[in-house]
Amino acid sequence: MLHFADRLTNRIATLSNPSVVGLDPRLAQIPEFIQDQAVEMYGETPEAAAEAIIQFNKGLIDALYDVVPAIKPQIAFYECYGHHGFRAYEETIRYAQEKGILVIGDAKRNDIGSTAEAYAKGHLGRVDLFGEASSTINADALTVTPYLGGDGIKPFTEICEVEGKGIFVLVRTSNPSADEIQGQALGDHLMDEHVASLVEGWGRELIGQTGFSLVGAVVGATYPEEARALRNLMPHQIFLVPGYGAQGGGAEDVKPCFHENGTGAIVNSSRGIIFAYQKNGQPGEAYAEAAREAALAMKNDLGQLF
Amino acid sequence: MLHFADRLTNRIATLSNPSVVGLDPRLAQIPEFIQDQAVEMYGETPEAAAEAIIQFNKGLIDALYDVVPAIKPQIAFYECYGHHGFRAYEETIRYAQEKGILVIGDAKRNDIGSTAEAYAKGHLGRVDLFGEASSTINADALTVTPYLGGDGIKPFTEICEVEGKGIFVLVRTSNPSADEIQGQALGDHLMDEHVASLVEGWGRELIGQTGFSLVGAVVGATYPEEARALRNLMPHQIFLVPGYGAQGGGAEDVKPCFHENGTGAIVNSSRGIIFAYQKNGQPGEAYAEAAREAALAMKNDLGQLF
């Protein structure tokens, strides 16, 4: 099984594009023609919401699979529609993988050991089905939260190692109140720097041929100084970087998340890509083409950095 | 809409039982007769796993609804079976609520503002369905993680206030590596104490008639000294206390989580109740009765504290 960091790094190199598109399908923003088709089939039901999400995502994946190496579905926008939404999440993953796109499930899961193992098996590995190991959700990677410490992380890394999968641990987020915990001072360093050292340790023995660990890190682009410090503390982590585009950051802001040779980070944009048609005042029918153009513009923007 | 903390506190008082049963339906431990029925209906599939979980849980709920005020399904053991498992989670919630049991979804969700709002609407409130607000998962409360700070919490509390629901924020967990983050020193106090102060602040304006906030706290029973400190820092929080029974704690260990009048905490046991039949060497057919006896024994054990 190929190492996750190698799979991702190679795919980034092949497409010359260190970006990931966040599939956050807010129902009300999905083009009306897709909503209408779904309602015609299923009425105004959660089934219809799931159907609209699936069709919306398939159109995006068809338009993006030869431009971006990965998608990052935010599971909150799926599971809020209950099991119907969860099915849409699973179908999105399968469809993307058929097209060769890697899928980073943005689920920020976390729990103590045996429960973390259930998350890891379900999202990344295989679950026990009456004595048979069987894959269910099967994303390529998952975002996880560090608050419980290493024994909530180990069940994930053990399964990732066997299955060629990865995790991205939240280290520094880009929201205004992130400092309330992540920015607290522990003597001469900040909590996020402490977490960075933990993450480096959790991933140390799990490094692939491209020099990166299957344990990556989520590092928001809001604080370039802090990103530089975290880059030094986590040389072997691939940074998953939110905060580009709609959340305010530009290419210069995310630059400190990369190594000087331009490797080691993948930058996310969600709304700025998938709802580009709205920003441009284009009709809903143009949403996929608008997303492709926005993704190419982002690729060019990031391409000027190195 | 009745305040969540009042609903829970009143139900605890009515049943004279400050305990909650964790419904963590590990498939391989579900009695064989239930597994066999499910496989007969659906083969060795995720549908069969979901069916076995539903039947197992219904039997438990029938046996427990007049003994315990609340159940706490751990969603990892459901969603690991994909959307079929997620449906079992939803059906468990509905069935429990029909019997008058409150449901605390143990999901440890967290994210930045607009994403946290999607989780909050899905798990506790109503989602937008083509312009209509509609409830989907509809648990009574949810566990959440604090790593992103207050603006990841506010979307939950806003919806809880309207819907009579609650959250329990992770403050101190009972796993061995909890100290790696929660036990770090910020000057003269620990990180978990800092989080406790944040939680107290997040819940301050949201206190019900019984004196408790709809913002509760998860506080593990492993460190009684630390529990005492956290109790003082969070006078208005209901503590959700894991670590009783299978995780090692007894009644004396959880005592510091309560106020001196015996209010303000609800103690969880999972495996020690739902799989009591295995510990006793009883046949699978006796699982529900064994769970009821174990729940009554736990009630007696806790009842001696005050």
CB A112 to CB B44 under 8 A?
no
Q: Compare CB distances from B127 to A80, A90, A182 and report the shortest one's residue.
A: A80
Return d(Cα A109, Cα B113) in angstroms, integer. Answer: 17
Tell me what pLDDT residue B246 has.
Answer: 61
Chunked into runs of 10 residues, chain B (306 residues) has average pLDDT values of 96 98 97 98 98 98 98 98 98 98 98 96 97 96 98 97 98 94 95 98 98 97 87 98 77 94 97 96 98 97 94
For residue A244, the enclosing domain spans 4-301
Joined tokens for residue B253: 């260990």
Give how far the C-alpha of residue A231 lies from the chain's centroid of Cα atoms, to the nearest Å: 19
CB contacts under 8 A, B 246-275 vs A, are none
Please give the pLDDT value at position B247: 57
The interface predicted TM-score of the complex, written ipTM, equals 0.97
Closest chain A C-alpha to B159 CA, distance in angstroms: 14
Give the C-alpha separation, B125 to A80, whole Å: 9
In chain B, the number of structural domains is: 1
- Token couple for A187: 């003597």
Q: Is A177 close to B151, i.e. CB distance below 8 A?
A: yes
CB atoms within 10 A of CB A165: 24
* Measured distance CA(B295)–CA(B63) in Å, rounded: 10
Give CA–CA dist B83/A75, Å, rounded. 12
- Average pLDDT per consecutive 10 residues, chain A (306 residues; last block may be shorter): 96 98 97 98 98 98 98 98 98 98 98 96 97 96 98 97 98 94 95 98 98 97 87 98 77 94 97 96 98 98 94
Q: How far apart are CA B260 and CA A59, in angstroms?
A: 60
Please state, in angstroms and rounded to a whole number, the distance separating the CA atoms of residues A241 and A251. 11
Output Rg (C-alpha) for chain A, integer angstroms.
Answer: 19
Helix (H, G, I), strand (E, B) or coil at B132: strand
CATH number for the domain harbouring residue A255: 3.20.20.70
How far is the C-alpha of A73 from the C-alpha of A108, rounded, in Å? Answer: 12
Contact B136 A112 (CB under 8 A): no
**Can you give the pLDDT at residue A24?**
98
pLDDT of residue B221: 78
Q: Is residue A64 part of a domain?
A: yes
Residue B165, both tokens: 């629901």
Please enumerate in sequence order all residues whose Cβ is within 8 A of that of A205, keeping only pairs 6 or more positions apart, or say none. none
Nearest CA in chain A to B179: A149
Please answer whether residues A169 and A200 qualify as being in contact, where contact means their C-beta atoms are separated by less than 8 angstroms: no
